[in-house]
Chains A and B, each alone.
Chain A
């Protein structure tokens, strides 16, 4: 069995073929609803996947190059577009790195930091409900699909109340956030949290206890702890392999050191463990939101920045725990109004590294479940 991380060996024009030993090579995607904007070239022997080569790049849009041609503010709308499920978690490290270059890190008002935390946690829940929804599609469990999408809608509308947009918020800017919370926002957010907490139990009963869902997810796509670290995996995929790592705890940014929460992790490393991590994280996000709303005091939410922003000459590296794992930005500035170089490092592109290895040996019917449980979103990975 080939266990290298090599993704290559791609034919220019793909043709399905049967080898003399009876192995069939099929293209899984890129239009397949289970594969996203990518394809996996599967070599299957009977029902078992012998090799799976991910072919990525269908949605590469050159974010790193575009960043060099836009000002620090103009970069915000387009860097959050690759990851529409987690636009706050994708923008936040960029903003934190930019603030380091502007010497603003210490000056951001407390209320702005709390609002950023609220938005980041809401976005984490939005992503996790979406995860559960699509997991339902991939397992053929259509009830969970509609529930996940419906519960996500509640949070999206709450976020839209404050930010004015449903998924691409463009809300966090250098110096703070763009607006204060509107009238009735906290009330509705807490109400939604109460409701969603009751839903978490429903998901546990319906998805984690369900014997058919367990049969689909248990013991498939196992990632060992050593592999998870060596391949640099991130987020729920890493924690589902028994590594209790979370940037919010490891290197607290914003005011995460003032709130109490747990980092759920399971040692099994299979698709079920990763799903459990997602569901538990929803609970932890609700706990964080309740603490943050209790701590918020009236005050300024932004340092007004006049004129064009110019970073000081130097570099800055910032990382945050996005919904799908560690997102980080490395920005080099040459003192211009445009960044000199921006390196975007998303959790999705890190989780791609192990896809070939983890798909080897699973059954064809399990490929969608394993693929989705890896928390790999092609658009954010291709950048």
Chain B
């Protein structure tokens, strides 16, 4: 490498670095701002055969629609075996004569969403809640009652992301 080439390349790269001093910070300040790409629920329309795009986080189970047909269990049993059918004798839903509902072990779930695609009764969805960390592994086991709680509305507002060629990608505060 010639010395002129060296100096020229050095100046170009230093100049590029200096320009970046005037850019906005790219970091998302978690958990003050949470930059979910989408806040929609992942759902599946069995009549059309297509899903509705959304974030594949923890499930939401509609117990008034679940018939206990076990199709979600069958879909999952070779993938991650996270879904178990749990008998709940105390429930009294007319459509669920067998009184069994799915429970999900999030220590195993891979969030592929094929259980939602398997449900023919609009009973299973996936919500944008993905922060599922627990101190105890057993707490990651969600019973049908826990799954049927509607997902908490995200309390922190979604950061407004700006994509700017000059100033970079940053959150508008």
B79: contacting residue among A77, A164, A178, A194, CB under 8 A? A77
Decide: A160 and B117 in contact? CB cutoff 8 A: no
Expressed in whole angstroms, the minimum distance between the Cβ of A11 and any Cβ of chain B is: 37
Is B152 close to A, CB under 8 A?
A: no
Contacting B at CB under 8 A, from A183-202, are 188, 191-192, 194-195, 198, 202
Residues of A within 8 A of B42 (CB): 164
User: What are 8 sample pairs from A and B whose C-beta atoms fall under 8 A apart?
Assistant: A143-B17, A154-B169, A164-B55, A178-B50, A195-B169, A206-B13, A211-B1, A211-B5
- Most A C-beta atoms less than 10 A away, residue of B9, B10, B53, B163: B53
Give complex CA distance A331, B24 in Å.
49
Decide: B9 and A178 in contact? CB cutoff 8 A: no
Residues of A within 8 A of B54 (CB): 164, 182
Decide: B16 and A205 in contact? CB cutoff 8 A: yes
B113: contacting residue among A164, A181, A205, A300, CB under 8 A? A164
Residues of A within 8 A of B (CB): 69-71, 73-74, 76-78, 143, 150, 153-154, 157-158, 160-165, 168, 170, 178-182, 188, 191-192, 194-195, 198, 202, 205-206, 209-211, 214-215, 300-305
6 further A-B pairs in the complex, CB-CB below 8 A; given A69-B78, A164-B42, A211-B6: A77-B79, A77-B80, A157-B37, A161-B53, A205-B13, A303-B49
Give complex CA distance A45, B126 in Å.
57
Residues of B within 8 A of A209 (CB): 8-9, 12-13
Residues of B within 8 A of A153 (CB): 26
Residues of B within 8 A of A (CB): 1, 5-6, 8-10, 12-13, 15-17, 26, 35, 37-38, 40, 42, 48-56, 75, 78-80, 110-114, 117, 126, 163-165, 169
Decide: A182 and B9 in contact? CB cutoff 8 A: no
Decide: A304 and B53 in contact? CB cutoff 8 A: no
Nearest residue, chain B, Cβ from A182: B53
Decide: B50 and A301 in contact? CB cutoff 8 A: yes
Give complex CA distance A76, B114 in Å.
10
Give complex CA distance A153, B27 in Å.
10
Decide: B56 and A164 in contact? CB cutoff 8 A: yes
Decide: A206 and B16 in contact? CB cutoff 8 A: yes
Expressed in whole angstroms, the minimum distance between the Cβ of A104 and any Cβ of chain B is: 14
